[in-house]
């Protein structure tokens, strides 16, 4: 049951810029939309900032495509003020025409990776997927509702990260020193590392739902180089400092014997691994679903974080008795079960 809450929206970050018309007139660019939901009767001390993934918007967390309440309702009903963002250049955060290249994701790709992976078997865990409400394919009303919510995204990962980082920092500054929980999904999972790197004293905890990974290269669908700073494409603060990650982050390939997993690139043991000094005091929960393609490699992201000095717990949902989920776990039939174990961990952190 949803409990009463107040609602407001605002924008953070951005600046005036020439509109490109040659007339000397201006537009506003790089701003980020924020929606704030605050429970009326009681409030927990640390608000949650929800950050969506690629091709998504903050609507991910308002309600589910089957019409049931989403995670915003779950957490406000338990006393949490929530801030739901649309990443810069996405959804209600305007994109300036000509500013980088936009990309879209096909309905077929969504079926294969998110909503019906059990029918395509593109990774070993895919047949375990059971929790999407309905067949997860075009023509089904729930799938169509979900796919209708997909939007274009910037193809330039580093540019997206830098601009959302700046806007995220502006949001924390607006909150006036209040300590927050950053909860992010997938491509949006790069943002907590970057925002916390700039404002570590304002981040109480990070919940990473299958964040972009693994370190340094893609997996499952390709092995292309990615995330030059290990967790991100944009710079992070290491000790000793890193100015040229290709040279200074010395890598070592770690192999696993488990057939359902992939090789993992970590920092080498010599020289001693560089530490993510601004993230070291922030507790991190990294959540992995049973049937997602992330089940093949999230373990590597966890090892990378721990190696860099970040206090990280890996929650593999089957270990909590929660089975059958895919990458969009917060939209699936048992999403409240997932939210509950996430909230239990948050509340143990005070």
Question: Mind telling me the catalytic residues?
Answer: 186
Contact 89, 163 (CB under 8 A): yes
Backbone angles phi, psi at 207, to 5 degrees: -115, 115
Q: Which residues contact 287 (CB under 8 A, 6 or more apart)?
A: 207, 208, 209, 210, 315, 317, 329, 338, 342
Angular region, 30: left φ>0, alpha ψ -120 to 50, beta rest: left
Q: Quote the DSSP letter at residue 73.
A: H
> Cis (ω within 30 of 0) for the bond into 214?
yes
Expressed in angstroms, the distance from the first to the final Cα of the chain is: 25
Contacts of 49 (CB under 8 A, 6+ apart): 82, 83, 85, 168, 171, 180, 181, 182, 183
Give the C-alpha separation, 72 to 83, whole Å. 9
| Cα distance between residue 265 and residue 214, in whole Å | 8
Query: Contact, 182 vs 84, CB < 8 A?
Result: no
């Amino acid at each position: 049951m949803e409990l009463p809450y107040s609602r407001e929206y605002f924008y953070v970050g951005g600046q005036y810029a020439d509109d490109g018309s040659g007339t000397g007139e201006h537009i506003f660019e790089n701003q980020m939309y924020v929606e704030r939901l605050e429970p009326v009767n009681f409030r927990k001390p640390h608000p949650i900032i929800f950050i969506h993934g690629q091709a998504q918007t903050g609507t991910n967390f308002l309600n589910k495509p089957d019409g049931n309440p989403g995670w915003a309702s779950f957490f406000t009903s338990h006393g949490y003020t929530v801030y739901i963002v649309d990443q810069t250049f996405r959804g209600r955060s305007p994109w300036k025409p000509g500013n980088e290249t936009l990309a879209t994701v096909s309905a077929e790709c969504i079926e294969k990776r998110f909503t019906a992976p059990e029918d395509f078997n593109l990774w070993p865990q895919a047949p375990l997927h059971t929790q999407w409400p309905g067949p997860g394919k075009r023509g089904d009303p729930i799938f169509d509702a979900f796919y209708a919510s997909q939007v274009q995204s910037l193809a330039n990962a580093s540019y997206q990260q830098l601009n959302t980082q700046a806007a995220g920092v502006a949001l924390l500054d607006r909150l006036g020193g209040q300590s927050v929980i950053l909860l992010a999904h997938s491509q949006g999972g790069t943002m907590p590392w970057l925002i916390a790197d700039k404002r570590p004293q304002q981040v109480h905890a990070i919940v990473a739902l299958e964040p972009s990974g693994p370190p340094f290269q893609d997996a499952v669908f390709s092995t292309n180089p990615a995330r030059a700073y290990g967790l991100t494409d944009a710079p992070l603060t290491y000790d000793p400092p890193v100015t040229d990650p290709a040279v200074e982050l010395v890598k070592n390939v770690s192999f696993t014997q488990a057939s359902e997993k992939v090789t993992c690139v970590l920092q080498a043991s010599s020289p001693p691994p560089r530490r993510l000094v601004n993230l070291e005091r922030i507790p991190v929960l990294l959540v992995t679903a049973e049937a997602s393609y992330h089940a093949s490699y999230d373990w590597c992201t966890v090892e990378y974080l721990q190696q860099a000095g970040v206090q990280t717990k890996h929650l593999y949902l089957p270990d909590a008795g929660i089975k059958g989920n895919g990458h969009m776990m917060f939209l699936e039939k048992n999403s409240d079960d997932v939210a509950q174990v996430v909230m239990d961990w948050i509340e143990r952190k005070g």
